[in-house]
Chain A
Amino acid sequence: AQKVTQAQTEISVVEKEDVTLDCVYETRDTTYYLFWYKQPPSGELVFLIRRNSFDEQNEISGRYSWNFQKSTSSFNFTITASQVVDSAVYFCALSGGSSNTGKLIFGQGTTLQVKP
């Protein structure tokens, strides 16, 4: 069965600190996709990144970076020099390949609070 674990329920940092959000996944598929979404207080899930299982290259987008490690089944997300606007709930999600039905398996989410 597929599963996503975000062990950090809540994280609180002070503005300009770096913060890493952890994501560990379980799947038997050889082809799969991993996602990160941001959910600000308004409620809408905002898509951040999509990676497939064959692409382990780390990615950087501005202050955001992602570290994908198949050996540890992890897909961690780092925000550099955090800002108050980064305060939100962040979800990691997994979708299967061979049994693809469009289903996204979400983790429990990590609530990030960035204090000024």
Chain B
Amino acid sequence: ETGVTQTPRHLVMGMTNKKSLKCEQHLGHNAMYWYKQSAKKPLELMFVYNFKEQTENNSVPSRFSPECPNSSHLFLHLHTLQPEDSALYLCASSLQVTTDTSTDTQYFGPGTRLTVL
């Protein structure tokens, strides 16, 4: 496997279900990101992890719970979602989140298309 992979690619769940999205990067990066892409909306950053520590939570509802056990893996645990949470969820990674004025390029996975019934 190369680059950034995401599983599953498609997921249909009911509002009472609990499911998890998985992301794995094979680039040797230390920062990982979750984005949400809804129809007709720009990509929205949800969470950022840098060296396994969460550095950004963009006011995401608690029904989305991220987990980053190591720099290569990122999960998004889902529970009691709403139909408006249906979207494409994209994972990305970069070398790291720097504290100076540099910005590393983010590389994206193929996404998980989530449908909440």
Contacts and interface: CB of A to CB of B under 8 A. Distances in A.
A102 B33 contact: yes
Interface string A100-113: 11111011110000
A101 B97 contact: yes
A62 B89 CA distance: 31
Interface stretch (A20-28, A30-38, A75-83): A30-38
A33 to B, nearest CB: 4
Nearest to B97: A102
Nearest to B100: A100
A47 B107 contact: yes
Interface residues of B, number: 30
A100 to B, nearest CB: 6
Contacts, number: 67
Contacts of B94: 102
Interface centre among A32, A44, A46, A102 (most CB of B within 10 A): A102
Contacts of B103: 32-33, 50, 95-97, 100, 102
Contact of A98 (B90, B101, B105): B101
A97 B56 contact: no
A interface, how many residues as a size bin?
Answer: 20 to 34
Contacts of A100: 97-103
B23 interface: no
Interface of B: 31, 33, 41-43, 45, 48, 50, 55-56, 58, 88, 90, 92, 94, 97-103, 105-111, 113
- Nearest first, the 7 closest Cβ-Cβ pairs linking A and B are A97-B101, A102-B97, A45-B108, A31-B101, A44-B110, A43-B111, A33-B103
Given A47-B105, A95-B103, A101-B56, 8 more contacts: A43-B113, A44-B109, A100-B102, A100-B103, A101-B55, A102-B106, A104-B43, A106-B42
Interface of A: 31-33, 35, 37, 42-47, 50, 91, 95-98, 100-104, 106-109
